[in-house]
Structure 1
């Protein structure tokens, strides 16, 4: 037991900031906000109230689009990176690391400076005047912005394992590059692609600060709805917010389980 004593601070932190809040969230999701009585009304209301499942659908839609575009952009960027020298690759991956962590309020503020109503790019290029940053298009652009560098961080190490000899051997056998990517490269990268997709999906679904800073409550997203229920824009319903968070967690666990089993097969 002595060898585990050093882990007590870590275990205490995990319990205080992860396990205990999770337990309270699970318990609260089965309680009525007004009376505190045990009930499943919070879950049934999610399916009966179109406002709640519309928030879920909106979050799912913008996340899937940003995941697909982010994953494609990451693949293209990694392919371009592999054509450069080692030092240049290290510098660009360092910048990608910074960009992947540059999210939330600072990211929204940067986009407002560039593409807001009086943004620098709009003043320089009048053709951008029609672009509305505070809409679905603007929100999607910011999502893709932080999804691409995050995808690069996870795909780049795997794509470096692709050997040039494989492509040369395929070319020697008379195949084109499309056949090589379809039969050799993509099957080799499939586990990394699936893992990266899950990470991008979780990152997109869990985004709150950027979306709220740009659109407030104008765009009905799941994270924004949970926050409004907890903080109370009109009146607080924290137990309903807990139920939405539990459903979100179940969806993520289901997705990870399905993809994990498919990857093992």
Structure 2
């Protein structure tokens, strides 16, 4: 007996019910609760915008937001520049080698969080392998490198941002047709002029969209930064965690307001990526 279309849809919806319950319990309800808390006063009674005012004007929280934005911008730009070269290089290999490199890139992209921070401590910490070797050979400039500073954090962020950027930028190169290169070559254009006038403009929507994703990814990163610096470096994600669970007297309302501010910035970055993706599709990338 063949089931009707309506019956099949009911079965599909029933199969999706556990997923919908999961999303509601662990995504929607916490978000709604966070929004409500962010507008409540300290007593949980009246409506107030004071937490947002404090989050956007208090020196400690402004510093946390500034540090987070700066590291997200720096790591995003550096990762995009490195990934542009890496993704293009991957397209030049054979199919078998290309698949192997993409698999390796995907594996590296999943190596983040506490294990990544621990690995960098072993290699570049105050008593790391490379640090001790640099001291032994008298390389003082490298020996004075501080992994637990903003520069060290940016380096780690770039490390786990590059694989993601490669995976996002790699398909965009296949939107640049080989016929365009041949036509440019016949007309006397050098490789530099081809990339300047054709290649880079065609890749620009993908580049900007990828940067938006990297920016949001860096803003939301918490485990790596906390494992490396604890509370010694002021980031917005770490400050939110301290307000919710780390302080002696937690302030859920202020923490929720800061989380909403962080979420809005990340949402703008994701919307930028979606807009650029539509532009890329219209261009055929």
Q: What band does the TM-score fall into relative to the shorter chain?
A: over 0.9
Q: Which residue of 2 aligns with 1:102?
A: 111
Q: Which residue of 2 aligns with 1:33?
A: 42
What runs of 5+ residues in structure 1 fail to find an aligned partner?
A: none
| Structure label with greater radius of gyration | 2
| Among 10, 14, 23, the residue aligned to 2:23 | 14
CA distance in 1, matches of 2:229, 2:263: 24
SS of the aligned residue for 2:146 comes to coil
User: Do residues 196 (structure 1) and 205 (structure 2) align?
Assistant: no
What CA RMSD, in Å, does the superposition of the two structures yield over aligned residues?
1.8
Q: For each residue in 1:72-103, what CA deviation from the matched residue of structure 2 results, as whole angstroms up to 9, or x when unmatched?
A: 10001112212222211111111110111111
Q: For each residue in 1:89-143, what CA deviation from the matched residue of structure 2 results, as whole angstroms up to 9, or x when unmatched?
A: 1111111101111111000000001001111111222222111111111111000
- State the TM-score, normalizing by the size of structure 1: 0.93
Distance 1:92 1:62, change over 3 A: same
Distance 1:14 1:71, change over 3 A: same
Q: Which residue of 1 aligns with 2:282?
A: none
CA distance in 1, matches of 2:210, 2:220: 15
Q: Which residue of 1 aligns with 2:246?
A: 232
Q: Which residue of 1 aligns with 2:6?
A: none
Contact 2:114 2:224 in 1 (8 A): yes
Show structure 1 runs of 4+ deviating over 4 A: 258-265
What runs of 5+ residues in structure 2 fail to find an aligned partner?
A: 1-8, 280-285
SS of the aligned residue for 1:106 comes to helix
CA distance in 1, matches of 2:251, 2:236: 14
Report the count of equivalent residues: 265
Deviation at 1:48, TM superposition (A): 2.7
- State the TM-score, normalizing by the size of structure 2: 0.87
Q: Which residue of 1 aligns with 2:161?
A: 147
Distance 1:262 1:84, change over 3 A: closer
Contact 2:205 2:276 in 1 (8 A): no
CA distance in 2, matches of 1:35, 1:23: 15
Distance 1:110 1:262, change over 3 A: closer
Q: Which residue of 1 aligns with 2:87?
A: 78
CA distance in 1, matches of 2:62, 2:112: 26
